[in-house]
A and B are shown apart, each in its own frame.
Chain A
Amino acid sequence: MLKELLVVIKESSYISKSNISKKLNISEELIEEGFEQLIRMGYIKEDVRGIKCDVGCSSCPYSKSCDKMPIKTIMITEKGERLLAK
């Protein structure tokens, strides 16, 4: 399941978990789990949500805009690419 998931991620132009769920015939909850596991195992990487400004944030009037990242993106790591190459 994990490898299939990785292949689907590689082939997609965007990620829709419900589409992937349909494609692999695996429940969406489990697909969600699969993503997290792939991240934990270092095959893919997800953008950290939010930008951490390390200095002077409390006084910055726009500090609140810093905590959010409107869009999630995923990258396949080197380890992931190695697996795909096999």
Chain B
Amino acid sequence: MNTIALVGNPNSGKTTLFNALTGSNQHVGNWPGVTVEKKEGKFKFNGNTYNVVDLPGTYSLGAFSEDEMVARDFILKGNPDVVINVVDATNIERNLYLTSQLLEMGVKVIVVLNMIDEAEAKNIQFGIKTLSKKLGVPVVTTAASKRKGIKELIEEIVRVIDGEMDLKPSISYGDKIDREIKTIKKLLSGKTLEYPPRWIAIKLIEGDQYVHDLVSENKALSSDSEFGDVLSAVKENIEDNELEIVNRRYEFVNDVTRVSVVRPEEAVKTVTDKVDKILIHKYFGLPIFILIMFVLFQLTFAVGEDLLGGLMAAAVDAVGHAIEVFLVNINSPAWIIAFVSEGIIGGIGAIIEFIPLIVVLYMLIGILEDSGYMARAAYIMDNIMRKLGLHGKTFISMIVGFGCNVPGVMATRTLESKKDRMIAILINPFMSCGAKLLIYLVFIAAFFPNGGGLILFLIYFIGILVALLVGKIFSRTLFKGETTDFIMELPPYRKPVLRNVLRNMWDNVSGFLKRAGTVIFAVVTVLWIMAVLPAGVEPYGAESILGRIGLFIAPIFKPAGFGTWQAAVGLFSGIAAKEAVVTTLGMVYAGVGEGTELISAIQGAFTPLTSVSFMVMTLLYTPCVATIATIKKETNSVKWAIFAMVYTFAIGWTMAVLVFQTGRLLGFS
């Protein structure tokens, strides 16, 4: 009985082909690694029975994994009469690497180009005759899942088993290695070994540990001093030899595919090159990046606020009102009504109103990311950061920080050197996260309803600028050391996929909602209690616990123009979570005014100038506890966490004072 072995990369369709050949029903799955042990089956043709063995999928035939060992042992020790190499035609370049290793083994091979249906759908064309000639083995095309080409394959199998096949090695590894192979092969001849001598020779030169162990256990060989000399000479050069052998295999694959595979020209790629000439241009790149960000914020406002914002505010008002009416109707105690309408609706409602803006902003960022532009932006920034003595990868963690500083700080893990990493961690809080966005949105609504895009753009810009400057100062003073080099990959541009964009947006918005329901809710509750106690004082007044805390802190902020106790408690609670700045203001001003109470209350309590200095303060000052905790964990040091808290506060305060005082001198109010 003849034996046929099926080998190939994971997920290339070996089991499907096995089932098609044997009529059995082995498990097939559209992911790699479905078959983990070898499976056997049989088929009959012209009165002869053939034994078929389905082997686990592997990318290579080294000794890296159990699967590779199972596959190569069966091929070399199981004496198959022919080895069917199942190749995924849509991925032929990758698959042929395994083929090149099969050809080293001195066994009869048939290459099956499977999934030919998909390759045709992708418009990939093959010169089958050339392919077969170049590989030196028969090539058959199949679509195993459609049972196409099976009959032709069986006929080829029979032909190959019955006929002779020229097993002359088809790959040369260069003169030096070829000579070494010959020498070793000669020394091995006559010794009893489990594997073919030429294959052992290649594996020894390549540095295959398993084969090295095998040889050292062989008594006849270890007593052969000539072999010992050759072996130790080989061992000296294993790193180079391995590279050379692998390299030759790839060159073989290249040589084969160059003349036998034609892929459709992808228009995107030529476009990518052209577009990149402008977008990452030495001088135009940065202005274009800035312009794109500017447009992004303008669009956010045009769509998120002007188009959708009003609707959301109206909805929040309506729902809030309905809940209040409901609570009154069921005769709830006054304190519950107060808690719900002023604490929850006044506080959390204030942030819910801005969801449309957040949705739009993160969708736009998602589009930039998915189209491939974000990588260009990082590349442009990389150049600038290098000039400032900062590591370019810092900007990648900064991009992540735009969503939230917690993952932003985590993202610095990709920085190798301690110096680069510490700087990246410490400046990440200056990246304006999604929660801070809310604060700006409230103040923009109050004072700059027509210039929202510009203000937001400037704020983010100041954040980046401060981060870069502070980073530069740190790299000069606090941290010394080498920076490691790296190269960024610029993927081809592509049309953004709606699904990815939506998912990116949802990742951020859902995080936001989750926080509103948990952290923010808890903060609001605690603050509300502090705002109505001790009993007897006017709720939300200066006499409440909250008010007294505020009054105590407020003088610090006088020079920055917002020395009210409300602003002070807002900033204070912002350390718990940045959204809490808004919810706190929403709550302490909930009794004031009517309609969109918070906005009108803020218009009364701030001026355009102090609103700007307040926004700058919130942009830069002490990060939230979650971020501080992450900094502590990532730097493994309480000292640095405290440092991060204090120095960001100092910078935020200084900048806010600077803005306010300069603004006043210039005559703004």
Q: Which A residues are closer than 8 A to B by beta carbons?
A: 1-3, 9, 12-19, 26-30, 32-34, 37, 41, 47-48, 51, 53, 55, 60-66, 69-76, 79, 83
Judging by beta carbons under 8 Å apart, are B246 and A2 in contact?
A: yes
Main secondary structure of the interface of A (DSSP, over half): mixed
Query: Across the A-B interface, how many residue pairs have beta carbons closer than 8 Å?
Result: 149
Given contacts A18-B492, A73-B414, contact A41 B400 (CB under 8 A): no
Given contacts A27-B257, A30-B253, A41-B243, contact A64 B507 (CB under 8 A): yes
Judging by beta carbons under 8 Å apart, are B254 and A71 in contact?
A: no
Main secondary structure of the interface of B (DSSP, over half): helix
Given contacts A3-B247, A70-B374, contact A9 B487 (CB under 8 A): yes
- Give which listed residue, A16, A27, A32, A53, contacts B410 with CB less than 8 A: A53
Docked pose: A41 CA to B258 CA in angstroms: 25
Q: Using CB atoms, name the residue of chain B closest to A31.
A: B93
Judging by beta carbons under 8 Å apart, are B407 and A51 in contact?
A: yes
* Residue B489 CB within 8 A of the other chain: yes
Between-chain CB contacts (< 8 Å), 17 pairs: A1-B247, A1-B254, A13-B487, A14-B280, A15-B487, A16-B276, A16-B489, A27-B93, A27-B258, A28-B269, A32-B94, A48-B414, A55-B633, A60-B406, A62-B406, A62-B511, A75-B484
Given contacts A3-B247, A30-B253, contact A72 B272 (CB under 8 A): no
Pick the most buried of B374, B407, B485, B492: most chain A CB atoms within 10 A of its CB. Answer: B407
Judging by beta carbons under 8 Å apart, are B254 and A26 in contact?
A: yes
Q: Which B residues are closer than 8 A to A by beta carbons?
A: 91-94, 97, 239, 242-243, 246-247, 250-251, 253-254, 257-258, 261, 263, 269, 272-273, 276, 280, 369, 374-375, 378-379, 393, 396, 399-400, 403-404, 406-407, 410-411, 413-414, 416, 484-492, 507-508, 510-512, 514-515, 518-519, 626, 633
- Give which listed residue, A30, A60, A63, A79, contacts B93 with CB less than 8 A: A30
Judging by beta carbons under 8 Å apart, are B511 and A65 in contact?
A: yes
Q: Using CB atoms, name the residue of chain A closest to B410.
A: A51
Judging by beta carbons under 8 Å apart, are A29 and B487 in contact?
A: no
Judging by beta carbons under 8 Å apart, are A72 and B404 in contact?
A: no
Judging by beta carbons under 8 Å apart, are A83 and B243 in contact?
A: yes
Judging by beta carbons under 8 Å apart, are B393 and A29 in contact?
A: no
Q: B residues within 8 A CB of A74?
A: 486-489
B64 CB to closest chain A CB (Å) equals 9
B58 CB to closest chain A CB (Å) equals 13
Q: A residues within 8 A CB of B393?
A: 47, 73
B41 CB to closest chain A CB (Å) equals 32
Docked pose: A18 CA to B250 CA in angstroms: 18
Q: B residues within 8 A CB of A69?
A: 396, 400, 411, 414
Docked pose: A70 CA to B507 CA in angstroms: 14
Docked pose: A15 CA to B486 CA in angstroms: 10
Q: A residues within 8 A CB of B242?
A: 41
Judging by beta carbons under 8 Å apart, are B97 and A72 in contact?
A: no
Q: A residues within 8 A CB of B403?
A: 62, 65
Given contacts A29-B93, A48-B414, A70-B399, contact A61 B515 (CB under 8 A): yes
A47 CB to closest chain B CB (Å) equals 5
Q: B residues within 8 A CB of A75?
A: 416, 484-487
- Give which listed residue, B250, B273, B407, B485, contacts A2 with CB less than 8 A: B250
Q: A residues within 8 A CB of B272?
A: 16, 18
Docked pose: A2 CA to B393 CA in angstroms: 26
Judging by beta carbons under 8 Å apart, are B243 and A61 in contact?
A: no
Q: Using CB atoms, name the residue of chain A closest to B392.
A: A73
Docked pose: A33 CA to B9 CA in angstroms: 14
Pick the most buried of A15, A27, A76: most chain B CB atoms within 10 A of its CB. Answer: A27
Given contacts A47-B414, A64-B511, contact A76 B254 (CB under 8 A): no
B517 CB to closest chain A CB (Å) equals 9
Docked pose: A65 CA to B514 CA in angstroms: 14
Pick the most buried of B247, B369, B489: most chain A CB atoms within 10 A of its CB. Answer: B489
B96 CB to closest chain A CB (Å) equals 9
Given contacts A29-B93, A29-B94, contact A70 B369 (CB under 8 A): yes
Judging by beta carbons under 8 Å apart, are A72 and B489 in contact?
A: yes
A9 CB to closest chain B CB (Å) equals 6
Q: A residues within 8 A CB of B400?
A: 51, 65, 69-70
Judging by beta carbons under 8 Å apart, are A12 and B411 in contact?
A: no
A10 CB to closest chain B CB (Å) equals 8
Judging by beta carbons under 8 Å apart, are A51 and B413 in contact?
A: yes
Q: A residues within 8 A CB of B484?
A: 75
Given contacts A16-B272, A47-B414, contact A71 B488 (CB under 8 A): yes
Q: Using CB atoms, name the residue of chain B closest to A34.
A: B250
Judging by beta carbons under 8 Å apart, are B488 and A33 in contact?
A: no
Across the A-B interface, the 8 shortest Cβ-Cβ residue pairs? A61-B514, A29-B93, A64-B507, A61-B511, A62-B404, A72-B489, A18-B269, A15-B489
Judging by beta carbons under 8 Å apart, are B254 and A72 in contact?
A: no
Judging by beta carbons under 8 Å apart, are B257 and A30 in contact?
A: yes
Judging by beta carbons under 8 Å apart, are A30 and B254 in contact?
A: yes
Given contacts A70-B369, A73-B488, contact A65 B263 (CB under 8 A): no
Q: A residues within 8 A CB of B378?
A: 70-71
A48 CB to closest chain B CB (Å) equals 7
- Give which listed residue, A3, A51, A65, contacts B243 with CB less than 8 A: A3
A22 CB to closest chain B CB (Å) equals 9
Docked pose: A83 CA to B244 CA in angstroms: 12
Docked pose: A26 CA to B93 CA in angstroms: 11
Q: A residues within 8 A CB of B510?
A: 61, 64
Judging by beta carbons under 8 Å apart, are B487 and A37 in contact?
A: no
Docked pose: A17 CA to B372 CA in angstroms: 14
Judging by beta carbons under 8 Å apart, are A2 and B253 in contact?
A: no
